[in-house]
Amino acid sequence: MTTLFAWLIAAYGMSQIIVYGSIFEGFRQSIHNWGNNPMAYFNAIGKFFSGLISCMMCTSTWVGFFMSFIYSPWVNIMDVHPALGVFFDGMLASGGVWAINTIIEWFEKK
């Protein structure tokens, strides 16, 4: 249970840094410029990534997919097939990060 909680906190931290961190501000801005430029090459891919890095739920899904290669809660705790574990880890990260982010935003409004 502690490992699962630590995994979710790590997913939240990584997603928070990618979406809101100042260290990636220039990178995010260049992706947004690429997605908003109709004359740019592979504009559809730029729009996809621009939307992806603007949304905590979207980013955390992909963070969960990639974190699954380091440690997979579904494979190690629930004993599912590794291919399914990657999918379920992405969904777990998305839901867990969304819940944590919602609680944090609620406290920020108060």
- The predicted pLDDT at position 78 comes to 86
- The predicted pLDDT at position 110 comes to 76
For the chain, what is the domain count?
1
- The predicted pLDDT at position 88 comes to 95
User: How far from 30 is each of 25, 69, 70, CA to CA, in Å?
Assistant: 9, 28, 29
Which residue reads 């997919």 in tokens?
65
Mean pLDDT along residues 39-67: 92
Residues 6+ apart with CB under 8 A from 87: 65
Which domain does 88 fall in, by range? Answer: 2-109
Mean pLDDT along residues 6-33: 94
Q: How confident is the model at residue 58 (pLDDT cuts 50, 70, 90)?
A: very high
